[in-house]
Structure 1
Amino acid sequence: MLIANENATHKAYPNVLQQILSIEKAAESRSWLSQWDGINPGATPLVKLPALATALGVGELWVKDESARSELGSFKALGAPIALVRLILRVFPEQRFEANSLLSGEYRQALADFTVISATDGNHGRGLAAAAKSIGCRCVIVLHANVSIEREEAIAAYGAEIVRIAGNYDESVEKAASIAVENEWTVVSDTSYEGYEEIPRDVMQGYGTIAAEIVEQTPQAGPNESAFTHVFLQGGVGGLAAGIASYFWEVYGAQRPAFIMVEPQQADCLYQSALSGDAAKSEGSVDSVMAGLACGETSPLAWKFLKESVDHFMTIEDGAAVDAMRILASGKNQDIPLVAGESAVAGLAGLIQILKSPILAADVSIDANSRILLISTEGATAPSVYAELVGETAEVVLHRQKAWHSRDVA
């Protein structure tokens, strides 16, 4: 399903939003992250897929590959560390901590009894656990029933204490909040709710790093015009999309690219938000193979940015995501093979669905001249799940990718 957002506008980035998320703050976050050994140095790859673009009938197709961000394997390595650093700076102003020194563990002894907690589908919890380990504070992660043991073990490897519940993601969020109150701990979540916006804001600000790199990696198409006509964004609670859309909006203003939001059919909280005009809940089961997007409630803070910046909202079936994973892994017709996890491929799956229908393609103004940007948000963060869905391991795909690079160099 696809709908146009009747509230979408193409105008200058509103000052009221700039007070929340800005290029200036994103640059500060990026500077701090560059000093953290939890992420790899330099920008993640922005790769062009000319063969797939030709097959789909679009002008250009680009993919920002966040699987290479760090050993965590996803974009979540950018949000949780920044939120945790900013939280500690607010809580302990008298200590005069330095942000870079926090991430290097210099204040480990002073923060040994400071505890943070969060619910997660996997990647956010892993990012928070990694940051907490570097800083030296305690971390507790609440996991719902659909989070795999494989993802649990990956989080626990960073020293986090795991709490399991029988419910879904939204119930794990509620559980984390109640545990935090009982123990006087602090929730570090990537979704907002009434009275809780500072930390989700900081998480989203960390995601601005992705957009900043993309702007630097691509030439402008014209004065204040993006190199891309369309950007496909994954759903979830909306935090990643808000972090990226706000950055592009501030840079390009009224000339910003068109944004298309893609979600699982059964976790369509942003689609429902577009229908109602306010942050809403999903009408589905919220159980999707796209685990990182299996969220039932829109982040109200994220919605402040998305309600006017996203031009279209759409939903896809799980099978479409699996097909997209296989397409990127194959590297058909000389394109670079890419390891993209279940939640990473929503944008490509959405694009393919649109292009199957000339009517839908016309509705979103995608044609042979369109320049499309996709954000591949994760690699094989659950290796066994990836292998089962794609039919080969991530290692095999990476070997093929290495061979592609070797051929390119030769």
Structure 2
Amino acid sequence: MFLLNTTPDYRRPLDPRDAETLGVASAEEVERQLAFRDNHAETPLVALPGLAAEIGVAAIHVKDEGHRLGLGSFKALGGAYAVIRLVLEHAEKELGRTVDITELHSSEVRAVARAMTVACATDGNHGRSVAQGAQLVGARAAIFVHSGVSAERVAAIARFGADMIRVNGTYDDSVREAARVAEAKGWTIVSDTSWPGYERIPGLVMQGYTALVREALRKMPEPPTHVFIQSGVGGIAAAVAGHLAIKLGDRRPIFTVVDPARSACIVETARAGHPVTVAHGEPTVMAMLECYEPSLVAWRVLSRVADAFMTVDDEDAIAVMRRLANPVAADPAIVAGESGGVGLAGLVKAVADPAIKAALRIDADARIFVVNTEGATDPGKYQEIVGLAPAAVAAKNEAGAEA
């Protein structure tokens, strides 16, 4: 499925709240806070000239978030960042003064954090980030996971000391259960999706993601002409599209949101012109994107600054995982999890369809930006799909460098 944005809000200015959340000043503050993280390092921006030549575009750049903060996913930028912000804000109220990030590990702030419990629902990556953030500040974390989350992903979250709570049903069921329990117990929900009356914290999560956009723009020889970003509830797509729209203005790229065909809540929302919940059907291999209800904040952004919406099938996602692991020409290999390469899968599908290619104005001069949103967050599943262990794929680059 492919749709151009025909919603009434298309090309209207961002809501002032979203413009502030995703603006340059806020993004600069995200980067300032990241500098105080012990394991912070910019993730690689990888050029794929071989693939670009093969599909007939000028350049493809992949922001490889599989290396982010030791968590293997872009989500490391969101949940932990929001937890830290919330702890600092709570400390300001408790202490009656301004509290800076430099005081995060002070005895006063740690005492405030110890009295807090943060909670969220997750498919895996967001919960890992929230749990890591709680561990960093000394707060307690309660993470709700639905029945489709693998034991390996649950264990990866639990290692940060979080209390793991299983919920029957889908991701959206776990979101509702987390909100219910947190309200009853006085916990703070740190969700990456939003609903009526709950917008600010998901906005902070999205704000954290702006760091990857700033890093990428600094490294690219020229700004991209086209961007393809995958979407679950819409947070990463909205953060990238919103920040690019603010930063680049009239020079902003043509932005396409890519959904799994089996859980296309953003695409169906675009088709309806308002937020809709899609029916739960057969699970998708793109587990981190298996969401059936969009984030209201994310949609408010995307309805204004996304240019197109499309779906990809499970086979498309798998093909891109294998293509990145076994690159063409002299391109470097990239370890992309089941959801990681979905934006690139959208590009490959778009250029193969003359009508979509023309609608998006993709030509030989196009400069494409995509994000590998996750590495092999479930190594066993990755090896089953690709036929190689993640370490074996990464070793290809080391062997190439030695040669």
Deviations 1:28-73 (A, max 9, x none): 1111012112x432x2111111111111111211111111112101
Residue 332 of structure 1: how far off its partner (Å): 2.4
Q: What root-mean-square deviation, in Å, do the aligned CA atoms of Structure 1 and Structure 2 show? A: 1.8
One-letter identity of the residue aligned with 1:65: D
Deviates more, 1:92-101 or 1:392-401: 92-101
278-287 or 321-330: which moved more?
Answer: 278-287
- Establish whether residue 274 from structure 1 lines up as the match of residue 270 from structure 2: yes
Say yes or no: does 1:181 pair with 2:177. no
Amino acid at match of 2:276: A
Q: How far off is 1:198 after superposition?
A: 1.0
1:237-316 → structure 2 map (5 Å cutoff): 237-285=233-281, 287-316=283-312
Distance 2:204 2:105 in 1: 16
Verify: 1:236 aligned to 2:232, yes or no. Answer: yes
For the residue of structure 2 that corresponds to 1:245, the secondary structure is helix
* Cα drift, residue 360 of structure 1: 1.8
1:4 match? 4
For residues 228 and 275 of structure 2, what CA distance do their matches in structure 1 show? 20
User: CA-to-partner distance for each residue in 1:205-252, whole Å, 9 max, x for gaps?
Assistant: 0000011111111234xxxxxx21100011111111111111110111
Residue 140 of structure 1 aligns to a residue whose secondary structure is strand
Distance 1:104 1:370, change over 3 A: farther
CA contact (8 A) 1:112 1:136 kept: yes
Q: Distance in 2 between matches of 1:233 and 1:103?
A: 35
Distance 1:207 1:129 in 2: 17
Contact 2:65 2:73 in 1 (8 A): yes
Alignment partner for residue 126 of structure 2, among 120, 124, 129?
124
What's 2:25 paired with?
A: 24
Q: Does the aligned pair in 2 maintain the 1:12–1:250 contact within 8 Å?
A: no
Q: Distance in 1 between matches of 2:311 and 2:317?
A: 11
Amino acid aligned to 1:247: H
CA contact (8 A) 2:94 2:112 kept: no
1:311-344 Cα distance to aligned partner (Å, 9 max, x none):
1100111111011000001122110000011111
Match of 1:101 among 100, 103, 106: 103
**Aligned residue number for residue 354 of structure 1:** 350
Query: Taking every aligned residue pair, what percent have the same amino acid on both sides?
Result: 41
Shift, 1:16, TM fit: 5.4
In structure 2, the CA distance between the partners of 1:29 and 1:103, relative to structure 1 (3 Å rule), is farther
Compute the displacement of 1:11 (Å). Answer: 7.2
Match for 1:167 among 141, 166, 169? 169
Letter of the 2:305 partner, please give it. S
Task: Report matched runs for 1:370-381 at 5 Å.
Answer: 370-381=366-377
Report the alpha carbon displacement of residue 10 of structure 1 after superposing the two structures with TM: 5.2
| 1:387 equivalenced with 2:383 (yes/no) | yes
> Normalising by structure 1, what TM-score?
0.93
Compute the displacement of 1:277 (Å): 1.5
- Normalized against structure 2, the TM-score is what? 0.95
Kept in 2, the 8 Å contact 1:11–1:253? The answer is no
Deviation (angstroms), 1:113: 2.7
Aligned to 1:61: 60
Equivalent-residue separation in structure 1 for 2:74 and 2:87 (angstroms) = 22
**Deviations, residues 73-131 of structure 1 (Å, cap 9, x unaligned):** 11111111221122223333232443243268873344223101100000000011111
Give the Cα separation in 2 of the matches to 1:122 and 1:142.
10
Query: What amino acid does structure 1 have at the position aligned with 2:359?
Result: D
